[in-house]
């Protein structure tokens, strides 16, 4: 990362991230110039949760086409609804909105990478594993056990 940042020929760096906020969010403390101004009326409930995704850079600011905000149906964890399918659609929209090739910087959230078909050698049936091997053109012998364990 350090080398990419210092490379004078490098492309613009775009940073992306996702977060959430409760719709009824209000600060616990705030400044009042006089005590007679009254207080802040804060709803007791947190309200619905909003999921926010955006991308931008120090030079360009936020990318206009990169903002997505949607209301979560879950109150537990926003990652249930911000999944690889939603992320992929948003990410492709982000790429279409870029004017030039860029370096995209993101964290390692699980939904930033997804497998087309996960395979578990310990839980899947032999027929499923053989079908997966055939689909990937991986040579195998169905009658001889693998001696590499």
Please report the pLDDT score of residue 56 as a whole number.
93
| Residue recorded with tokens 């030039």 | 100
- What is the average pLDDT across 67-84? 76
pLDDT > 70: what percent of the chain?
A: 73
Half-sphere exposure of 49 (CA within 13 A, CB side): 14
Which residues touch 65 (CB under 8 Å, ≥6 apart)? 93, 94, 96, 97
Please report the pLDDT score of residue 6 as a whole number.
72
Q: Are 103 and 10 in contact (CB under 8 A)?
A: yes
Query: Does 76 have pLDDT greater than 70?
Result: no
- What is the average pLDDT across 97-113? 86
Query: Does 85 have pLDDT greater than 60?
Result: yes
Cα distances (Å, whole numbers) of residue 40 to 32, 33, 37, 44: 10, 13, 9, 12
- What is the average pLDDT across 81-105? 87
Please report the pLDDT score of residue 149 as a whole number.
47
Please report the pLDDT score of residue 43 as a whole number.
64
pLDDT digits (tens, 9 = 90+) for 16-33: 998 888 877 777 766 777
pLDDT digits (tens, 9 = 90+) for 19-69: 888 877 777 766 777 766 666 666 666 667 888 899 999 888 999 888 888
**Residue 10 pLDDT class (50, 70, 90 cuts):** confident
| Residue recorded with tokens 């977060």 | 19
SS3 state at 14: strand
The dihedral through the CA atoms of 45, 51, 107, 57 has a sign that is negative
pLDDT digits (tens, 9 = 90+) for 115-149: 666 666 677 788 888 888 888 888 888 777 665 54
């Amino acid at each position: 990362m350090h080398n990419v940042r210092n490379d004078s020929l490098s492309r613009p760096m775009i940073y992306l991230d996702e977060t959430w906020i409760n719709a009824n969010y209000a600060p616990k403390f705030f400044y009042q110039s006089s005590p007679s101004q009254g207080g802040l009326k804060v709803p007791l409930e947190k309200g619905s949760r909003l999921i926010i995704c955006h991308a931008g850079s120090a030079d360009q600011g936020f990318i206009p086409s990169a903002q997505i905000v949607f209301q979560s149906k879950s109150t537990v964890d926003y990652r249930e609804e911000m999944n690889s399918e939603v992320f992929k659609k948003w990410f492709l929209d982000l790429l279409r909105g870029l004017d030039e090739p860029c370096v995209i910087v993101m964290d390692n959230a699980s939904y930033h990478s997804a497998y087309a078909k996960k395979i578990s050698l310990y839980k899947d049936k032999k027929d499923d594993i053989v079908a997966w091997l055939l689909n990937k053109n991986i040579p195998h012998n169905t009658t001889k056990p693998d001696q590499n364990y």
